[in-house]
Amino acid sequence: MLEADQLLEEGGGGTVRHRARDILRSVFGYPEFRGEQEAIITHVAEGGDCLVLMPTGGGKSLCFQIPALLRPGVAVVVSPLIALMKDQVDALRQAGVKAAFLNSTLTGGEAAQVERGMREGTLDLVYIAPERLVTPRCLDLLEQCELSLFAIDEAHCVSQWGHDFRPEYLQLSVLHGSFPHVPRIALTATADGPTQKDIRDRLQLNDARVFAAGFDRPNIQYRVVPKAEARVQLLQFLEAEHPTSAGIVYCLSRRKVEEVANWLASKGRVALPYHAGLDPAVRQRNQDRFLKEEGVVMVATVAFGMGIDKPNVRFVAHLDAPKSLEAYYQETGRGGRDGLPADAWMTYGMPDVMALMGMLDASDLDEKQKWIERHKLNALLGYCESASCRRQVLLAYFGERDHPPCGNCDICLRPVSVWDGVVAAQKAISAVFRTGQRFGVGHLVDVLLGQATEKVVKFGHDRLKTFGVGKDLDKRSWQSVYRQLVAQGHLAVDMEGHGGLHLSESAPKVLRGEVPVAFRQETAEPKSARRRSLGAVASEGRPDGPGDEELWQALRSLRLEIAREQAVPPYVIFHDATLVDMVRRRPRDLEALSKIPGVGKSKLDRYGDVFLEAIKDHTPPE
C-alpha cells in the first residue's frame, strides 16, 4: 500500500495550497475543494487557530486531516465517541494515511504500540477521547511528542447551552495553556449564537478565526406531518419511499424505542433498538450491524448518532418532536452525508408539546437556563407550525435570514393556505377560560364541537356558552388551532397540573380582537409514489439507464464482500456516491477509474482491478 507521506514526496514542494490540492486528489480522490475547505486547511496548516461551523456532510474531517498531513508531527483528534474511532481510523488507513486511536478498547500492548508511534513520529493522526486526553498521563505523553495540531470535533459539547453538553469538554482549555504553539481547530455542525460564544470562551479560542460555511443541507427534504397513528404513518412512509434503505427513527423514551423496533421487525423490516438502558454489548452489536449491513433501520433515543459516519443514511424520522431546533438539525443531519437525497420526516402533535414542556419544567436547570431552553422550544414549535418554507425557518434560527424558498420541503412542494383565525382563536381561548384553565385539548375540542361526553357532562361544560360554538370546524382542525395558539404564545401548557391549557399574557388581547391571528390550513398527507430499490430515480440522484440497476447491485455486493473480509463498514471501501459515479461513467481502465471522486491512489491500487472487472461484466459491448 502506498502511504500518504510517499504521495507527498512524489508531489514535491510547492505552496501550502498546491500541496493541499495534491493530497486532496492523490490521497482522498477528490478533484476540488468545496466551500471554505481550502481556506480553512491553509489557515490551520500555516499555524492558525480556528472555529469551523460546517454542516454535516460538508467535509469537516478534511479540514483537519489534510493539515495533519501537511504539518510535521502527529495530529491529535479529540472525539467524544469511542465506538466510532475505529471506523474513522479504518477509513483513513484505506486511503493510505497512518492513523490510530487511543482508547479503553485497546489492550495494554496495543496502547503502548500507539504511544510509541506517537513519540517516534510514525503516525499522522491519533484519535483520543476527551476523558483520556486530559489525564496527567496522557498530557505527559503529549509533551514527549511532536504535535502538528489539535482537532476538537463535536465542539458544541463544550457548551452548557448546547444540546449535547459533556462536562469533560470543559477541561480541554488545558490544551491552550500546555501547548500554546500548537494550532487548534474546533469543529461543529450545530451552534447558535450563544453556543458559538460559549465554544470560543471555554476553549480559549477568542482570537481564533471563525469559518461559517453555512448550515444549509440542500439534499435533505424536510417534512412535518400531523401526528395520528405515528407507527402506521411511519410504516407507510418507509414502504412508499424507503423499502430497502438504511435510516434512523428517533423516539423520546426507551420503552417506545423497543416497542417501535419490535413492531417494525414484525412488519418485515430489519429494525434494531438503541438506547442507554440496553446492555452495552447489545447496544454495540446493534450499532455494528447498522454500520456494516445494508438496509438496517435503527430505532433510537438521542443516545445514538453523534459522530455517526455512515454516509448512506437515506432517512431520519422523528416519531416524537426533538427538544430544540439545534437537536433537530443535528439529528436530521445524519441523513444524506454522501450528498445524495435524504428525507427528514417528523410526526408532530400536542402530546409532543406537553411532553417537552413537562421535561423542561421538571428539570433541575436554573431559571436562566430554563428561559433559554424555553426559547429554543418555542422556536421548534414555530418551525413545526410554519406556513412558509421550512428551510427558511431552520436557517434563520442559525442566523441565515436571506435564504430563498428551497423547493425541497413539504411547504414548498405543497404550499399551505393561511386563514384569518381571529374568530376561531377567540372561541378556542374562550373555551379554555370558561372551563377553568385546567383541561387538555381533547376535552376542549369536545366542548367546542358540542360533544356531550361523560366528562363534559360531569363538569357541567355542556351548559357553557362555548358548548357547540365550534361546529364550523372539525376535530382535526381544532387540534391544529390549539397547537398553533400554543406555538404563537397565546396559550400555555400547565405542567404542574395535568397538562391543561391556560391563558398567556397576550390571550386577553386576542379575545378583544386587538391582535391579528392567522393559522395555517392543515391538509391531508399525500400518498407517496413507491420508489425502486436502487433509488434509480432522477429525484434520488441515482442513474436509471439501461442495465444500471444490475450494475449498481453488483458493485454494492462486491463492496460488501470486501468490507466483510476486512471487518469494516462498506462505506469505508467506497461511498454510495462513488459507486453511483462508477455506474454513470462506466470507466474501462484504471486512469478513467482514478477520475471518479473518492478513488484515491491507495484505493485505486487495492480495488481498481476488481471493480473494473465488475463494471466490464455488467456493461454490454459497444
Average of per-residue pLDDT across 133-139:
92
CATH class of segment(s) 418-520: mainly alpha
* Greater pLDDT, 14 or 219: 219
Distance between the two ends of the chain, CA-based, in angstroms? 34
Which architecture, in CATH terms, is 220-413?
Answer: 3-Layer(aba) Sandwich (3.40)
pLDDT digits (tens, 9 = 90+) for 329-363: 889 989 998 889 999 999 988 788 778 877 777 78
How does residue 538 score in pLDDT terms, banded at 50, 70 and 90?
very low
Of 82-86, 145-149, 229-233, 590-594, the least confident: 82-86
Average of per-residue pLDDT across 93-98:
95
Instruction: Tell me what the pLDDT averaged over the chain comes to.
Output: 87
pLDDT digits (tens, 9 = 90+) for 361-409: 778 878 777 777 777 887 888 888 888 899 998 888 887 878 899 999 9
In this prediction, residue 603 carries a pLDDT of 95
- Residue range 4-212, CATH number: 3.40.50.300
pLDDT digits (tens, 9 = 90+) for 548-559: 889 999 999 999
pTM of the model: 0.76
In this prediction, residue 433 carries a pLDDT of 96
How does residue 6 score in pLDDT terms, banded at 50, 70 and 90?
very low
Of 114-123, 217-226, 400-409, 466-475, the least confident: 400-409
231 pLDDT exceeds 50?
Answer: yes
In this prediction, residue 544 carries a pLDDT of 65
One-letter identity of residue 548: D
254 pLDDT exceeds 90?
Answer: yes
* Neighbour-count burial for 283-319, b at 16+ CB within 10 Å, e otherwise: beebbeebbbbeebbbbbbbebbbbbbbbbbbbbbbb
One-letter identity of residue 303: A
In this prediction, residue 365 carries a pLDDT of 78
Q: How far is CA 228 from CA 217, 471, 574, in A?
A: 28, 21, 40
535 pLDDT exceeds 60?
Answer: no
Tell me which residue of 148, 145, 180 sits closest to 67, measured CA to CA: 148
Q: Residue 514's beta-bridge partner residues?
A: none
CA separation for the pair 360, 111 (Å, rounded): 42
Q: Exposed/middle/buried for 382, CB within 10 Å: 0-12, 13-18, 19+?
A: middle
CA separation for the pair 324, 550 (Å, rounded): 42
Instruction: Answer whether 4-212 and 220-413 agree in fold.
Output: yes
In this prediction, residue 372 carries a pLDDT of 73
Joined together, the cell numbers standing for residue 136 give 496527567
In this prediction, residue 1 carries a pLDDT of 35
In the chain, where are the structural domains located?
4-212, 220-413, 418-520, 538-617
In this prediction, residue 306 carries a pLDDT of 59
CA separation for the pair 170, 231 (Å, rounded): 40
CA separation for the pair 117, 295 (Å, rounded): 38
DSSP for 92-133 reads: HHHTT--EEEESTTS-HHHHHHHHHHHHHT--SEEEE-HHHH
CATH class of segment(s) 538-617: mainly alpha
Q: Write out the H or E segment, with its range, that includes residue 246.
A: strand 246-250
How does residue 539 score in pLDDT terms, banded at 50, 70 and 90?
very low
